[in-house]
Amino acid sequence: MAKLKSNIKLKPVKKADLQVVKPIKTTKYSDINLNEWKSYDHIKTDTLWEFPARLKEGGHSNEYHGNYIPQIAQQLYERFTKKNDIVLDMFFGSGTSGIEAINMNRRCIGVELKEDLAESVSEKFTPKQLVTDVNIICADSTTELAVEKVKARLDIMGEEKAQFLMLHPPYDDIIKFSDKKEDLSNCATTEEFYDLFERVAKNGYDLLEKGRFAALIIGDKYANSQLIPLGFECMRRMNNVGFITKSIIVKDMQGNERAKGKTANLWRYRALAGGFYIFKHEYVMLFQKV
């Protein structure tokens, strides 16, 4: 039988024509593919954060005065956590950390002092989420009991330590959050506030995985005709318990302020008369456990 001849000629493949697929390159604490770093332009890498408004989608609301804006969690989670990581929030409040953990396929353990708030916040999550993804503990974050409760939840969730620590304490006594004597907003002095905050920071440090990151959201205050730099003293207390400081981010407050209306003019008068400036920023301080 005669062999059929084909007129089709195969072109040799040149090396330049081959599409090289680079392997995914990430850090130990993030899912960001560093080989595609140019595609992450939505992630902030500078130290001035400006957000025009508070995000209200995705289960977030602003019914609780003093909660931080969700955009902070979005930025920090994508930058410093991986999917399924556990975020530990020692001042859980209205649950921003947990809501954004769900939205971004992370998990969360939140410690909240007020029983009624812990109960109402739990209604923001489904029964299944409260079993598998978000655990709300009612406890005093300064205590060893809180640490033991967090350890028990970590064990149930299959981890020994948390992978990210979020700290958003009261700004001393600026806003009174409860009548509880354990509440940091009820401290008799600012020095007592610092001491109790340091206890919380130490507990968070012990519960955090080595090499992972912690964020402190804090502002300053005026008292007795002078500036009280709460942020920098709290930073020092974080260093006291073992954290190293990685960054100090200045965040504008326009996305998280309640409308002042006509009272804004009164604050301008007070500033002009008293020789001070009106706060328009707070800090997002970043630390690492080494």
Q: Is 105 left (phi over 0), alpha (psi -120 to 50) or beta?
A: left
46-54+65-288, CATH topology level: Rossmann fold (3.40.50)
- Pick the closest to residue 64 from 94, 100, 21 (CA basis): 94
Residues 6+ apart with CB under 8 A from 257: none
CA dist 243 and 68 (Å) reads 22
Tokens encoding 176? 């009174």
CA–CA gap between residue 51 and residue 53 (Å, rounded): 6
| Regions of the chain where pLDDT drops below 70 | 1-20, 57-66, 254-263
Where do the domains of the chain lie? Answer: 46-54+65-288
At 287 the pLDDT is: 98
pLDDT computed for residue 229 by the predictor = 97
Tell me how many degrees the CA angle 160-166-172 measures, rounded to the nearest 5.
Answer: 130
Residue type, 184: L
For residues 160-188, one letter each, b for 16 or more C-beta atoms within 10 angstroms of the residue's C-beta and e for the rest, the string is ebbbbbbbbbbbbbbeebeeeeebbbbbe
Q: How far apart are CA 105 and CA 81, in angstroms?
A: 10
pLDDT at 212: 98
| Tokens describing residue 78 | 């994508």
Q: Are strands 281-288 and 208-218 parallel, antiparallel or unpaired?
A: antiparallel
**Using an 8 Å Cβ cutoff, are 28 and 211 in contact?**
yes
Give the C-alpha separation, 110 to 97, whole Å: 8
How many whole angstroms separate alpha carbon 283 and alpha carbon 49? 10
Stated length of the chain: 290
Instruction: Flag whether the pTM goes above 0.85.
Output: yes
- pLDDT of the residue at 39: 96
DSSP state for residue 46 in the 8-state scheme: S
Give dist(CA 168, CA 184) in Å, integer: 11
Contacts of 59 (CB under 8 A, 6+ apart): 99, 102, 103, 124
Contact 187, 174 (CB under 8 A): no
End-to-end alpha-carbon separation of the chain, Å?
77
